[in-house]
Structure 1
Amino acid sequence: MKVLLPAAMIMLGAAYTQNAMASDVYVGALYNQQDIDAPGNDFNTAGIVLGYQLNEYVAFEGRFATGTSGVLARTTATDFSHSYKEDMDLQSSLLLKLTYPIADGLNVYGLAGYTRSKIEFESKGIQTNELGNVVLEYHNESSWTRGGLSYGIGVEYQLNDNFTVFVDHQILPDFDVAIAYDQKWKSTTVGFAYRF
């Protein structure tokens, strides 16, 4: 009984919430490939989409993703080994989405908003002498956060009353980690959304 009562309350609450939200709220999943104008600095992420459809043409959208790939380099010698790793910890976007229908179920849209990216770095190594004794060992961790204007265009297709698939391309804030010049940062996203 202790389990059934909370379960019943949760189901009733979910049914009420679904009716209250009607078709204004949508959730989904995304996969994102990011390209930076620097060798070895491409990131892939996966995450979720949360949106609110204000009307047929305007929506507000939040996207939250974490890294699925990154940079990993290892150097090994007789008396020395070193590894370096970097990956996307969290990337979040708050976006205004302006949609224009071009055919039945097919829309084009523009995105503009704020994107914040946090990348984590890890460097560790060990050096030994001729006898195999450790003479130097280090482990450094740091992170870098960049935020700013992001914008892009996309296309979406409504499969039925609830499911939509989409693909879009965005320009993200320039990638500038302690270097002399900024590097352009772009992303291509594919995903789907479920409208309640």
Structure 2
Amino acid sequence: MLKKLAVAVPFLLLAFPGASLADTYIGIGHHWGDYKNENEVKSDPTGLKLTIGKYLLPVIAIEAHFLKGIGSDAIKVSGLDNGSQMELDRAESLFLRGDLPLAERVNLYGLAGYSTGRLDAAGGGYDVTDKADGVSYGVGLEIVGQNNSYISAEYIQYLDESDNGVDFEYKGVNVNLGMRF
């Protein structure tokens, strides 16, 4: 999926010649993940996030997110550490973004799109990799500086799926720094 997004995003961004180059943005950030399943298994891996986006209209953008895990977390079952670790290997998302300007340089925004990701778990003699994909959505708040730099914070429900008969969800909070060009 990463290869498909890497190929598709530049073409999607070029497909809208009416949007000026000043409406392109790129950002990096920190990701705090939250994995939970119906069997009371929980883990909070962390990652780095890259965002690339382009405004198609003044308040509508297309945005790609790329997450790469940088830290594993203990897997807890019913609140107890079972000695295993979970790590976000990677995730990719493609979103349609809608802004609601609150002030001249402050935007509340919503995201709706699709994500794919991979989690790795290991410990106690096992090593498991799980892949999932599905509909994603979220909200964020962005403050744009005088020099077109920005800071944003967002909450995203990346996955809410069923895998091998077990319902799970993966969501995250991201804090990003970026620049509009």
What TM-score comes out, normalization by structure 1 length? 0.68
* Among candidates 150, 173, 176, match of residue 188 of structure 1: 173
Contact 1:36–1:175 (CA<8 Å) still a contact in 2? no
Tell me which protein shows more strand as a share of its residues: 2
Match in the other structure for 2:15: none
Q: Which deviations, in whole Å up to 9, do the C-alpha atoms of 1:2-24 show, x marking residues without a partner?
A: xxxxxxxxxxxxxxxxxxx6312
Distance 1:175 1:186 in 2: 12
Q: Which amino acid aligns with 1:101?
A: P
Distance 2:111 2:150 in 1: 17
Write the mapping of 1:74-85 to structure 2, written as runs, cut at 5 A. Answer: 84-85=84-85
Distance 2:33 2:84 in 1: 20
Contact 1:87–1:121 (CA<8 Å) still a contact in 2? yes
Match in the other structure for 1:171: 157
Match in the other structure for 1:16: none
SS for the counterpart of 2:22 is coil
Match in the other structure for 1:152: 138
Q: Which deviations, in whole Å up to 9, do the C-alpha atoms of 1:20-41 show, x marking residues without a partner?
A: x631211110211122334441
**Number of residue-to-residue matches in the alignment:** 152
Distance 2:71 2:21 in 1: 37
Give the Å deviation of 1:64: 0.5
Aligned pair 1:100/2:100, yes or no?
Answer: yes
Write the mapping of 1:111-150 to structure 2, written as runs, cut at 5 A. Answer: 111-123=111-123, 141-150=127-136
Q: Which deviations, in whole Å up to 9, do the C-alpha atoms of 1:75-131 show, x marking residues without a partner?
A: xxxxxxxx7443111111101000011112011111000111111234475xxxxxx
Match in the other structure for 2:69: 67
Match in the other structure for 1:31: 30
Give unmatched runs, 5+ long, in structure 2.
Answer: 1-19, 76-82
SS for the counterpart of 1:23 is helix
Q: Indicate the percent of aligned positions where both proteins have the same amino acid.
A: 25
Give unmatched runs, 5+ long, in structure 1.
Answer: 1-20, 74-82, 126-139
What TM-score comes out, normalization by structure 2 length? 0.74
Aligned pair 1:56/2:58, yes or no?
Answer: yes
SS for the counterpart of 1:160 is coil
Distance 1:86 1:155 in 2: 29
